[in-house]
Amino acid sequence: DTGVSQNPRHKITKRGQNVTFRCDPISEHNRLYWYRQTLGQGPEFLTYFQNEAQLEKSRLLSDRFSAERPKGSFSTLEIQRTEQGDSAMYLCASSLLGGANTGELFFGEGSRLTVL
């Protein structure tokens, strides 16, 4: 399988706990994105990496959120001290910069977070 892989697919946690999601992008893709999607909404941009460098962060990304991509391959998104408002689907996507491609995003199936 050469698609974008995310885990866990579902996470239920109590308010105040920390959670971490992992994303494995398509292997040759140098860009990796995190989006958040709530019910009835389109994906909202959180952050993106080019290789291991985090190049852009949304103002939606509070101090409780941190993302890493230490070796330019997989990425983790950690949410500390979760709040009920953090309940959402967290989507990872990857893309390939350069060449004749259009830079389209390839999405994983998402990690659904429920904060009780």
Partner 1 sequence: GEDVEQSLFLSVREGDSSVINCTYTDSSSTYLYWYKQEPGAGLQLLTYIFSNMDMKQDQRLTVLLNKKDKHLSLRIADTQTGDSAIYFCAERPKNYGQNFVFGPGTRLSVLP
Segment interacting with partner 1, rule: CB under 8 A, options 22-30, 63-71, 80-88, 97-105: 97-105
Three-state SS letters, 31-46:
EEEEEEECCCCCCEEE
Q: Shortest gap between Cβ of 95 and partner 1 (angstroms)?
A: 8
Q: By CB under 8 A, is residue 55 in contact with partner 1?
A: yes
The DSSP secondary structure of 51-98, one letter per residue, reads: TTEEEEE-TT--TTEEEE-TTSS-EEEEE-S--GGG-EEEEEEEE--S
Q: Shortest gap between Cβ of 16 and partner 1 (angstroms)?
A: 28
| Interacting residue with partner 1 among 20, 54, 58, 87 (CB under 8 A) | 58
Largest CA distance in the chain: 46
| Interacting residue with partner 1 among 4, 23, 77, 79 (CB under 8 A) | 4
Q: By CB under 8 A, is residue 108 in contact with partner 1?
A: yes
> Judged by CB under 8 A, how many residues of this single chain contact partner 1?
26
